[in-house]
Structure 1
Amino acid sequence: MAILVTGGARSGKSAFAEQYAMRAGTRGIYVATCQPYDEEMIDRIGKHRLDRDGSGFPWVTAEEPYDAAGLLHRLGEQAAQDAKDGIDLPVVLIDCLTLWLTNWLLRIEQDPLGHDRLAEETTKLLDAVTHFPGKLIIVTNEVGDGIVPAYPLGRRFRDEAGRLNQRAAAICDRVFLVTAGIPVELKALAYRWDEPS
Structure 2
Amino acid sequence: MLWLVTGGIGCGKSAFAEELALTVGREGIRLACSSFPGISTVAFYEEKGAHSDFSWTHSQADETLAHKLNAINLESNFFRADRRVIVIDSLSGWLREIYHRTEAAIPDAEARIEADWQEVLSAIFAYQGKMIVVTEDITAGLSLSSRELTYAYRLAAANRLLLEASNTVYRMSAGMATEVKGYRLKRGNLTHENIYPDR
TM-score range, shorter chain: 0.7 to 0.9
* CA displacement at 1:64 relative to structure 2: 2.3
Is 2:124 the counterpart of 1:122? no
Is 2:160 the counterpart of 1:158? no
Residue pairs, 1:6-45, within 5 angstroms: 6-34=6-34, 38=38, 41-42=39-40, 45=41
* Residue of structure 2 equivalent to 1:74: 71
Residue pairs, 1:31-70, within 5 angstroms: 31-34=31-34, 38=38, 41-42=39-40, 45=41, 48-49=42-43, 51-55=44-48, 56=51, 57-70=54-67
12-21 or 151-160: which moved more?
151-160
So what's the TM-score if we normalise by structure 2?
A: 0.81
The answer on whether the counterparts of 2:35 and 2:94 sit within 8 Å (CA) in structure 1 is no
CA RMSD of aligned residues (A): 2.4
So what's the TM-score if we normalise by structure 1?
A: 0.81
One-letter amino acid of the structure 2 residue matched with residue 196 of structure 1: D
98-107 or 163-172: which moved more?
163-172
One-letter amino acid of the structure 1 residue matched with residue 175 of structure 2: G
Aligned partner of 1:183 among 156, 177, 183: 177
| 2:4 counterpart SS class | strand
Distance 2:181 2:137 in 1: 16
| 1:98 counterpart SS class | helix
Is 2:128 the counterpart of 1:133? yes
One-letter amino acid of the structure 2 residue matched with residue 138 of structure 1: V
Task: Quote the sequence identity (%).
Answer: 25
* Cα 1:128–1:114 shift into 2, 3 Å: same
Q: Which is richer in helix?
A: 1
* Cα 1:28–1:19 shift into 2, 3 Å: same
Unaligned segments of structure 2, at least 5 residues: none
One-letter amino acid of the structure 2 residue matched with residue 179 of structure 1: S
Distance 1:97 1:191 in 2: 30
* Cα 1:131–1:37 shift into 2, 3 Å: closer
128-137 or 117-126: which moved more?
117-126
One-letter amino acid of the structure 2 residue matched with residue 186 of structure 1: V
Instruction: State the number of aligned residues.
Output: 185
Unaligned segments of structure 1, at least 5 residues: none
* CA displacement at 1:121 relative to structure 2: 2.1
Distance 2:171 2:125 in 1: 20
Distance 2:132 2:91 in 1: 11
Distance 1:191 1:9 in 2: 32
* Cα 1:148–1:112 shift into 2, 3 Å: farther
Q: Which has the higher contact order (CA 8 A, sep 6+)?
A: 1
